[in-house]
């Protein structure tokens, strides 16, 4: 008779194989890892290695070229662990493709999903998530950025800070207050009025 909590089952074959793939990618960027972490821009060779690995398939639903109908959080965690062991930049790039595009995957209109998600998967579009503001961190209900419909457009007003990939991203998923509630708003990087600054806010 056994006592105490059950032993963890461990990773199955599928996840072990993913881990090996991710470790191989991580090892391939190890020579540039320190340089990539020190740089303020996206590191081209790290980006190329990640794009070529096919592992961004994990952050996009199968309908748009991804690996599975529903995203597999364990698979994503396994890959991130392997990446971050060698390169924070590689892990960040992979992680941001996921969290930056997830609002599109779950709430985007079909044309928006068809436009952006295959590009996220191929890493031809870089994603960013913009939640934090100069005066708002953990307590996201306090965001002061607003969005309102004006004519046929959406007008977003506010400032975000600490945004990973800011300036390099092709789109931003932005949290904003809309009336009494909150919305995630897709902001392509070439949207009129969008400005990215570096330094103190």
Ligand X SMILES: Cc1cc2nc3c(=O)[nH]c(=O)nc-3n(C[C@H](O)[C@H](O)[C@H](O)COP(=O)(O)OP(=O)(O)OC[C@H]3O[C@@H](n4cnc5c(N)ncnc54)[C@H](O)[C@@H]3O)c2cc1C
Footprint of ligand X on this chain (CB under 6 A)? 129-132, 137-138, 162-164
Question: What whole-number distance in Å separates Cα of residue 199 and Cα of residue 157?
Answer: 20
Q: Which residue is nearest to ligand X (CB)?
A: 137
Q: How far apart are the first and last CA of the chain?
A: 61
We find the least distance from the C-beta atom of residue 78 to ligand X, in angstroms, to be 22
Pick between residue 75 and residue 130 the one whose CB is nearest to ligand X. 130
We find the least distance from the C-beta atom of residue 129 to ligand X, in angstroms, to be 5
Pick between residue 132 and residue 146 the one whose CB is nearest to ligand X. 132
CA 72, 75, 81, 86 torsion-angle sign:
negative
Pick between residue 22 and residue 136 the one whose CB is nearest to ligand X. 136
We find the least distance from the C-beta atom of residue 162 to ligand X, in angstroms, to be 4
Pick between residue 58 and residue 131 the one whose CB is nearest to ligand X. 131
Q: How far from 87 is each of 31, 33, 71, 100, CA to CA, in Å?
A: 10, 5, 23, 20
């Amino acid at each position: 008779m056994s006592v105490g909590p059950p032993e963890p089952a461990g990773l199955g074959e599928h996840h072990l194989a993913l881990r090996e793939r991710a470790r191989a990618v991580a090892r391939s960027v190890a020579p540039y890892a320190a340089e990539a972490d020190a740089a303020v821009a996206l590191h081209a060779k790290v980006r190329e290695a990640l794009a070529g690995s096919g592992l961004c398939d994990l952050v996009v639903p199968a309908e748009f070229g991804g690996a599975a109908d529903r995203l597999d959080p364990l698979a994503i965690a396994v890959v991130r662990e392997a990446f971050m062991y060698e390169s924070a930049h590689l892990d960040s790039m992979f992680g941001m493709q996921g969290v930056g595009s997830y609002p599109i995957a779950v709430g985007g209109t079909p044309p928006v999903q068809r436009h952006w998600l295959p590009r996220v998967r191929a890493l031809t579009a870089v994603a960013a998530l913009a939640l934090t503001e100069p005066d708002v961190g953990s307590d996201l209900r306090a965001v002061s950025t607003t969005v309102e419909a004006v004519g046929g457009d959406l007008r977003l007003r506010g400032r975000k800070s600490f945004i990973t990939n800011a300036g390099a991203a092709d789109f931003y998923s932005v949290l904003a207050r809309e009336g009494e509630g909150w919305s995630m708003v897709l902001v392509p990087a070439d949207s009129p009025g969008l400005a990215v600054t570096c330094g103190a806010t």
